[in-house]
Structure 1
Amino acid sequence: MFLTKENKIQTYRNKGNWKTVFLYVSFLLFYSFSIAQCPTVTNLSQSFCDVQSPTIASLQATNNGGGVAWFATDTSTTPLASGLGLVNGEDYFADSSGGNCGTRVRVVVTIYSAPTGLPFQGPCVDSPELATISTLVLVGNNIRWYNVPTGGTALDPSTVLIPNTLYYASQTNPDTGCETSRFTVFVTFGVVPVPTGPPLQIFCQDNSNPPTVANLIASGNNNWYLTSTSGIPLPLDTILVDGQTYYATTVDPPCQSSERFEVLVSIQTQNNAGTNGTVSFCEDQLLSSGPINLFDSLGGSPFNTGVWSGPIFLTNNHQGTLDVSSLTLSGSPYIFTYTVSSSTECPPASATVTVTINPIPNAGSNGSITLCETSASVDLFTLLGNNPETGGSWSPP
């Protein structure tokens, strides 16, 4: 059975031991008084800025009459000197000056110093006016930028940077609002404008040497991408696809333009005029033959978008209709050229149709001869009159 302090006092009274009662009550009063004099700490996480050079004396606790002392641990017996500098992340323990409060209050200290990051920074921008304070990158809380190492007025985030200049940044203690020391950054920047060029680029289909990314046109030194956000540039030997959109950036290592120039690719089929053809007439057929279409005499699969040229005017556009009756034997042969240039990015293609007028064949005039069975052989061609043409055939043979 446990006795309360009231039970103990009553027990001592019943035994007539008033001296014991007096001593016990005195102890209780002294103990209660000592506890009442222990410091109180309302902020268990106390923070400072490095420029404040905080010490043990900077720690906050309320002195309730017994004084305030700070210790390195909850059991150490030697108080820390008031001028001892605080350490970031360290914990400290509050007690009375006599160190007799029993359980000590633990306080964790945070000391904010200058922000961290790269001391040399060169933002890449599409134009100089876009190189502003806001493009600089450091790690810290509520960073403020200055153009002087101490003092001065914080720069607006929209302030345009001056190349080859030092800038200074502090961060802010989120608990107290104090500013830290400043981190120095040397600033330069690269200007990489968005490329320009023809938004529609047309190429000729060439199976032996197809157009590639290397044939695309844009200002500056470029990387080409398949989408507006893809991160891997296309190899220059990538074959272009008809109807595909490609995107270019300007590259000036280590910078690359943030915006991309969009190009739509059109690949035209090579011009096709077909293959050469021939037409021939006998001189005596000219008047009886009607008009002919030279297009029908071309070989292959010519486009119907071509034009004809030649010694005689033709009608019906690509059909190339020829009036045969206007031809003569003396003007033969007649050469007509068909040219296709509808695919403007491809070289023109041409094919010809040759019209030949042949003279009327001359077999000469009839001849006769009487031979005996014993007569020598005779060249019948010598018996023909009217200067016959050579190269004919005899029937029967």
Structure 2
Amino acid sequence: MRITTLAKNYFFYCVLILTLFGQNGFVYSQCPTVTNTAQSFCDTQSPTIASLQAVDNGGGIKWYATATSNTQLTNSTVLINGEDYFVDDNTGNCGPRQSVTVTIYSAPTGANFQGVCVTSLSQATPSNPQFVINGNNLQWYTTPNGGTALSPTAILTDNTIYYISQTNPDTGCQTSRLSVFVNVGLVPTPLGSAVQEFCNIPGSPPTVGDLVASGNNNWYLTSAFGIPLDLSTPLVNGQFYYATTVDPPCESSIRLEVLVNLYEPNDAGSNGNRSICVNEIATTIPFDLFNLLGGTPDNTGVWSGPILTTNGFQGTLDVSTMTLLGSPYVFTYTVSSALCANDTSTVTITILGLPTATVSVSPTPSCSGSPATFTFTGTPNATVTYNINGGANQTITLNGTGTATLTGTYTANTTVNIVSVAS
């Protein structure tokens, strides 16, 4: 009997042990499994515990903050970037817990004010490497939410706010957006004449501000560096100047080279004149009007006037056709150039008539020995040579009004004889 009982008991215990082992294997087979131990989200998804993924193998799913915590995290618990979360079944004791590391992608990082310096607007695009924005597969928008992403080659508008998201490389979702105020500096190489010329007017010389190039410019004395010149700086003849295009804070890297030539103002000298007595016209040989000008006139001018001259700037004049009636004759000398204002001067040729003079006596005496005034009347400033009663010659000069007087005493048959009159 005892042997039979022991055998039965042994069988019972063996069955019990095998059953327990079988149940324990069944218990462990219910633990959830994690196929993706690194799970990522976008901040726009507002991920929570409910967003985590694990395979329910029949024992349910519960999430914990640590591998040993007894406090279950609720489905509404907000996930934290970089944290690990641990999964278990409904018992919380199914075995070692598997973990999930969470990555949450948020808006890209970068300065909220950025600019690009371009030589052409076609370079002002989201793909321009001058933008410093950190993120994955950036997407540009014109609105903070919604809308259609801009093409990488879209032309950006100066002084405009754009909104930029990054893309989760695992799931393709897009994050919230970074706002960036974009400044586009358009600074092409300036255009202009390689040689620029100016009139160097005394007291008002040309300055750097008179140089001409396209766009808004800075001017330098070197081709690659230096301090911008003040616009009031006088230009130097034969000096090279270099222009950049400026659209603050941008400045073109290539400069326009300009050679400056300065020209002195035209100088026609000062006015001149010459007088010729009418009786000397026939014997006056041709002469140069240029020699009658004062100062230091340029020899590049031309003459104009009532009589044609020869020999270019010399203005050789033949007076043989001049008359007293046509006097005075005014000739103009004009010096001109493309850069400086014309300058003129004149030479006046005056034909003088022969000087004249008469003499009268006052009062008419009634007898010899009476005092008398002799009045000469004639050409102003003329010198009159005369004698009394054929005596020795004497002279008297008429004043500016053409008169002169002298006093004398009558004698019998007194006469005043005019011998000659000269200017």
Same fold by TM-score greater than 0.5: yes
Deviations 1:229-252 (A, max 9, x none): 989876554445556465566x7x
The CA RMSD measured in Å over matched residues stands at 6.1
Deviations 1:256-296 (A, max 9, x none): 99899979666443111122233445556544443222223
Tell me how far apart the structure 2 counterparts of residues 80 and 295 of structure 1 sit (CA, whole Å).
115
Deviations 1:72-107 (A, max 9, x none): 6x9x8667837543433x454879987998xx9996
- Secondary structure of 2:150's counterpart equals coil
Which of 320, 323, 330 is the aligned partner of 1:325?
Answer: 320
- Secondary structure of 2:310's counterpart equals coil
Alpha-carbon spacing, 1:366–1:297, altered in 2? closer, same or farther (3 Å): same
Tell me how far apart the structure 1 counterparts of residues 225 and 169 of structure 2 sit (CA, whole Å).
39
The number of residue pairs the alignment matches comes to 330
Tell me how far apart the structure 2 counterparts of residues 247 and 167 of structure 1 sit (CA, whole Å).
29
Tell me how far apart the structure 2 counterparts of residues 99 and 275 of structure 1 sit (CA, whole Å).
119
Tell me how far apart the structure 2 counterparts of residues 390 and 322 of structure 1 sit (CA, whole Å).
26
Mapped pair 1:380 → 2:373: no
Alpha-carbon spacing, 1:105–1:266, altered in 2? closer, same or farther (3 Å): farther
Correspondence list, 1:102-141, <5 A: 110-116=103-109, 139=133, 140-141=135-136
Which of 140, 143, 150 is the aligned partner of 2:138?
Answer: 143
Tell me how far apart the structure 1 counterparts of residues 65 and 71 of structure 2 sit (CA, whole Å).
5
Tell me how far apart the structure 1 counterparts of residues 188 and 331 of structure 2 sit (CA, whole Å).
51
Which of 326, 345, 349 is the aligned partner of 1:355?
Answer: 349
- Secondary structure of 2:420's counterpart equals coil
Tell me how far apart the structure 1 counterparts of residues 224 and 39 of structure 2 sit (CA, whole Å).
46
Q: Which runs of 5+ in 1 are unaligned?
A: 1-36, 371-377, 392-397
Mapped pair 1:389 → 2:421: yes
Tell me how far apart the structure 2 counterparts of residues 268 and 116 of structure 1 sit (CA, whole Å).
59
Correspondence list, 1:1-397, <5 A: 48-54=41-47, 81=73, 83=75, 84-88=77-81, 90=82, 92=84, 110-116=103-109, 139=133, 140-146=135-141, 154-159=149-154, 168-174=163-169, 177-183=172-178, 203-212=198-207, 223-226=216-219, 235-240=230-235, 244=241, 246=243, 267-281=262-276, 286-329=281-324, 331-342=326-337, 344-357=338-351, 364=385, 380-381=394-395, 385-389=417-421
**TM-fit CA distance, 1:339:** 0.9
**TM-fit CA distance, 1:387:** 4.1
Which letter does structure 1 place at the counterpart of 2:421? E
Tell me how far apart the structure 2 counterparts of residues 129 and 93 of structure 1 sit (CA, whole Å).
48
Give the percent of matched residue pairs that are identical in Structure 1 and Structure 2.
Answer: 43
Alpha-carbon spacing, 1:149–1:379, altered in 2? closer, same or farther (3 Å): closer
Tell me how far apart the structure 1 counterparts of residues 70 and 265 of structure 2 sit (CA, whole Å).
96
Q: 8 Å contact 1:203–1:345 — kept in the other structure?
A: yes
Q: Which runs of 5+ in 2 are unaligned?
A: 1-30, 56-60, 356-382, 397-414
Task: Report 1 or 2 for greater relative contact order, CA contacts < 8 Å, sequence distance ≥ 6.
Answer: 1
- Secondary structure of 1:226's counterpart equals strand
**TM-fit CA distance, 1:173:** 3.5
Larger radius of gyration: 2
